[in-house]
């Protein structure tokens, strides 16, 4: 989840947070703290997740006051400034850690365990690029679902997770799509 350092935690952010977790009362108490250029939660989140506080060039990330349940929901909180590339390496490291790769150095190198996985990564990447293009062209969200589904299936092929129709129905249940 991404929030603006300039705007702080807004009611809209809270709505998005509630929608993502759908069960905010299950979260434990705690606080977020700022040290050595990155924020981290004092307790491990129940669901691995990252909160990105962007636009730190306009306001300090410490000025973002997070509700207690929010600061505990994220396993990592990373301050960034996208245009100035501040914190992007920390974000990359947090993403790698989140998916279980820990200290993998990418350094612009391409890698995959085998040819099939490389093909699925390419398929997922191309599908996500189409989603990005649809978003930039202000297409309705329900138009994105075909490409999102393709990306999810491709990534499931890599991880071994079966992306069933039931899972896809759950993911896309909030979209109004004609059958």
Q: Confirm if 9 and 66 have CB atoms less than 8 A apart.
A: yes
Q: Name the CATH superfamily for 2-24+42-99.
A: P-loop containing nucleotide triphosphate hydrolases (3.40.50.300)
Question: Which parts of the chain register pLDDT below 50?
Answer: 23-45, 104, 108-109, 179
pLDDT reported for residue 136: 87
Residues 6+ apart with CB under 8 A from 7: none
pLDDT reported for residue 24: 40
pLDDT reported for residue 57: 92
Q: Confirm if 82 and 100 have CB atoms less than 8 A apart.
A: no
Using CA atoms, how far apart are residues 101 and 95, in angstroms rounded to an integer?
9
Q: Rounded to whole angstroms, what are the CA distances from 65 to 2, 7, 68, 146?
A: 14, 10, 9, 37
Using CA atoms, how far apart are residues 25 and 69, in angstroms rounded to an integer?
8
């Amino acid at each position: 989840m991404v929030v603006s350092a300039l705007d702080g935690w807004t009611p809209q952010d809270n709505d998005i947070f509630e929608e993502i977790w759908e069960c905010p009362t299950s979260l434990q108490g705690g606080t977020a703290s700022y040290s050595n250029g990155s924020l981290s939660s004092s307790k491990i989140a129940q669901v691995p997740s990252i909160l990105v506080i962007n636009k730190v060039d306009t306001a300090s990330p410490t000025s973002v006051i997070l509700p207690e349940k929010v600061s505990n929901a994220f396993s990592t909180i990373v301050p960034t400034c996208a245009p100035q590339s501040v914190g992007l390496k920390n974000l990359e490291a947090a993403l790698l850690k989140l998916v279980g790769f820990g200290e993998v150095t990418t350094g612009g190198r391409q890698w995959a365990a085998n040819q099939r996985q490389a093909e699925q990564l390419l398929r997922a990447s191309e599908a996500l690029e189409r989603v990005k293009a649809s978003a930039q062209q202000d297409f309705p969200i329900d138009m994105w679902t075909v490409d999102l589904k393709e990306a999810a299936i491709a990534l499931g092929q890599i991880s071994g997770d079966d992306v069933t129709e039931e899972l896809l129905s759950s993911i896309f249940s909030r979209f109004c799509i004609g059958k």
